[in-house]
Structure 1
Amino acid sequence: MSKATEFFAQRKEAVFWILAVLWMGFIFFMSAHTGSDLDQGTGLFAAIKASLEDFVARTVGLQTDVVSTLAHFAEYLVLGILLANALRLRTSADKAFLIAVLAGSLYGVTDEIHQIFVPGRLCDPADWLTDTLGCTLGALCLSALKRPQAKK
């Protein structure tokens, strides 16, 4: 491998890891807020949350809180994609998938512990399971997209 090729490969890997760490920071930020924090705001997150709650209220009913579950799932789906993408540059697709799922699930545990210290939030094992499932699907999707295609 030439020096230039190696330099760009290292740079690409660094960018992938930076994106994963930034996304983990976003998850941490969202975990430091409650749904009622977002209800009182006027920003993008408040608008998205209000739209989702309105949609759920019209289609499922007012008594369900699928918005939180969907948010956890989506956050960790993206995290699974980002982790698997960064890991695949140094290891096989299968190992990248497994490590991404384990790392994402472990981060979900720390996220739930973090929420113990946030007023209005709680540590919920069901949220951790949702996080792990989202991360698993994200890593699986990336593995499927990046797997070499068989030639016909």
Structure 2
Amino acid sequence: MAVKLPKLRRVQILFLILTITIMCTIFYLSSQDAESSSDTSSLLTKLAVKLLYPQYDSESDDIKREMWSKASFIVRKLAHFSIYAALGFCASVTVWKRKLISAKNPGVIVFGFLYAVSDEFHQSFVKGRSCEFRDMMIDTCGVTVGLIISLILMGIIALAVKRRRKRSQ
């Protein structure tokens, strides 16, 4: 007896592909050793420091080091949060329509948390990288925010469609 799978809509297939692409990107970034990862985040840190504090170059070396350290930490954690927010958004759209209170919502969060755990575990085998519980929590918060954004957008779209149908009747 064959199990009948639900038919996926084109939008769901697109967001499934995006979800898998984001997961592969996270895996790739986590595969970088500490030096390569630092080089990647340094580009963003430099941009952030220059934009937010134009006088950076005229500061003393001690102040520069402190500012760089803080900015680098923030950029790295925002990167974690942002990519996992994108993952949460795409995974949420993949599971499709649902009510605000739905069993699928915690499922998306658990999926994101488990992927974050596997990502951090993977990093523990990469030279100079570590497995950090804090990053798992930041990642899970990102997934949750991505989920919330998707629910808001899907609600707005559903409301717009409902209004359009009402007007056309």
Report how many aligned residue pairs link the two structures: 141
Provide the residue aligned with 1:15 in structure 2.
Answer: 14
Q: Distance in 2 between matches of 1:46 and 1:66?
A: 11
Q: Deviations over 1:31-69 (max 9, x none)?
A: 11245315557xxx76435323555775x8233211111
Provide the residue aligned with 1:75 in structure 2.
Answer: 83
Q: Secondary structure at the match of 1:83?
A: helix
Provide the residue aligned with 2:118 in structure 1.
Answer: 110
Q: Secondary structure at the match of 1:62?
A: helix
Q: Distance in 2 between matches of 1:108 and 1:100?
A: 12
Instruction: Give the CA deviation at 1:139.
Output: 0.4
Q: Distance in 2 between matches of 1:52 and 1:99?
A: 35
TM-score (norm 2): 0.70
Q: Distance in 1 between matches of 2:49 and 2:38?
A: 10
Provide the residue aligned with 1:62 in structure 2.
Answer: 68
Are residues 1:142 and 2:150 paired?
A: yes
Are residues 1:51 and 2:50 paired?
A: no
Q: 1:131 to 1:122 in 2, by over 3 A?
A: same
Q: Secondary structure at the match of 2:80?
A: helix
Instruction: Give the CA deviation at 1:10.
Output: 3.6
Q: Distance in 1 between matches of 2:140 and 2:114?
A: 9
Contact 1:19 1:82 in 2 (8 A): yes
Q: 1:97 to 1:55 in 2, by over 3 A?
A: farther
Higher mean C-alpha displacement, 22-31 vs 45-54: 45-54
Higher mean C-alpha displacement, 123-132 vs 13-22: 13-22
TM-score (norm 1): 0.77
Q: What's the C-alpha RMSD, in Å, of the aligned pairs? A: 3.0
Consecutive unaligned residues in structure 1, runs of 5 or more: 1-6
